[in-house]
């Protein structure tokens, strides 16, 4: 299949490369000309602007927008809608607020243009590992796009099958699902990121306590100068708390045991806030996720080693740079 990718940042470029590796064709556009040129050298087709994309695509045209949530995505989708024809498909693969998806899908449908929201997880490792995707949109449209999603997904890999799982739709085992109508994909991804906040905060606080065990505030016989990189490494192997986030923590600590290259000023990209907001709307208690969100707010005022661990994990999976100021 041939697809247009608008936005060639850390994930957009990786998605294009993975698709081309699987035999798909890509038409690419970004405001950064160098990003376009790099992918053209690898076989992509360049577009000079949004108005140049449609003529280089098949019917129906498929546009994948991989830009920051908010105005950049909103304006780009509005511009694409002006160039699209009936039956064309616009995909938003960023971290858009799911209620915006619902609104857009309704507006685009009135023009005959289909809309699909894809919550995409994988960060800078997606090209190698594949992208976990949570998809919202009409059944027929999502099915039409399945060759693209199948190529991007991690696949069955080496993960053992879940015992007793009766699965008619094997897509979940391959690393992607059709979650429901427009907005459902980004809603599931939003909760995924909210949980991510909580998991990261638990690791971060745990390592901060380990580091603090050598504090001179403790009785001398109770002080331990613990090797954090060895602890992270041993926990990766057979421990009940092993995970990819722990893998990334171990990698960061192996390179920089005191994480001096990380500021500890931890950003949030919106999904944690939206997750807490959804919990409030549904009257669902979300103590851990709410605390994790507010810990990020606090990190911008008073930094701790836990904040540096969070920064290291965010750099590991997403390439988010939070350098000392």
Candidate list 173, 189, 211, 322, residue with the active-site label = 189
Candidate list 114, 173, 196, 271, residue with the active-site label = 196
Enumerate residues 6+ apart whose C-beta is below 8 A from 229: 250, 253, 254, 257
Q: Distance between CA 194 and CA 292 in Å, rounded?
A: 9
Give strand pairing partners of 243.
none
The sign of the CA dihedral 141, 142, 146, 151 is positive
- For residue 188, give the H/E element and its range: helix 184-211
C-alpha closest to that of 301 among 271, 272, 263, 259: 263
Enumerate residues 6+ apart whose C-beta is below 8 A from 123: 10, 11, 317, 318, 319
Q: Distance between CA 268 and CA 300 in Å, rounded?
A: 11
Task: Calculate helix-pair angle for 244-255, 184-211, nearest 10 degrees.
Answer: 40
Judge residue 176's burial from the number of C-beta atoms within 10 Å of its C-beta, 0-12 exposed, 13-18 middle, 19 or more buried: buried
Active-site residue, 42 included: no
**Other C-beta atoms within 10 Å of 103: how many?**
14
- For residue 230, give the H/E element and its range: helix 228-236
Active-site residue, 41 included: no
Q: Distance between CA 246 and CA 265 in Å, rounded?
A: 20
- Tokens matching residue 245: 């986030």
Q: Distance between CA 320 and CA 91 in Å, rounded?
A: 24
Residue 65 φ/ψ, nearest 5 degrees:
-100, 120
The catalytic residue positions are 189, 196
């Amino acid at each position: 299949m041939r697809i247009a990718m608008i936005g060639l940042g850390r994930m957009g470029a990786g998605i294009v490369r993975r698709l081309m590796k699987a035999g798909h064709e890509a038409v690419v556009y970004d405001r950064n000309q160098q990003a376009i040129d790099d992918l053209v050298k690898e076989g992509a087709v360049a577009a000079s602007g949004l108005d140049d994309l449609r003529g280089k695509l098949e019917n129906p045209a498929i546009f994948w927008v991989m830009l920051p949530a908010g105005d950049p995505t909103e304006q780009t989708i509005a511009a694409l809608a002006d160039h699209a024809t009936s039956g064309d498909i616009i995909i938003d693969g960023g971290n858009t607020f799911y209620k915006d998806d619902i609104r857009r899908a309704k507006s685009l449908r009135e023009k005959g243009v289909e809309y699909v929201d894809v919550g995409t997880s994988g960060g800078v490792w997606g090209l190698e590992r594949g992208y976990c995707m949570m998809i919202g949109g009409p059944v027929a449209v999502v099915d039409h796009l399945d060759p693209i999603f199948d190529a991007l997904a991690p696949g069955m890999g080496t993960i053992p099958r879940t015992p007793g799982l009766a699965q008619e739709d094997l897509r979940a085992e391959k690393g992607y699902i059709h979650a429901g109508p427009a907005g459902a994909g980004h809603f599931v991804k939003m909760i995924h990121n909210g949980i991510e906040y909580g998991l990261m905060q638990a690791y971060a606080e745990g390592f901060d306590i380990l580091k603090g065990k050598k504090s001179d505030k403790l009785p001398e016989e109770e002080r331990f100068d613990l090797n954090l990189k060895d602890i992270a490494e041993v926990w990766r192997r057979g421990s009940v708390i092993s995970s990819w986030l722990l893998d990334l923590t171990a990698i960061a600590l192996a390179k920089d045991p005191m994480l001096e290259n990380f500021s500890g000023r931890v950003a949030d990209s919106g999904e944690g806030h939206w997750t807490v907001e959804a919990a409030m709307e549904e009257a669902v208690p979300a103590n851990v996720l709410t605390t994790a969100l507010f810990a990020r707010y606090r990190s911008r005022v008073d930094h701790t080693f836990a904040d540096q661990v969070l920064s290291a994990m965010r750099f590991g999976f997403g390439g988010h740079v939070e350098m000392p100021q």
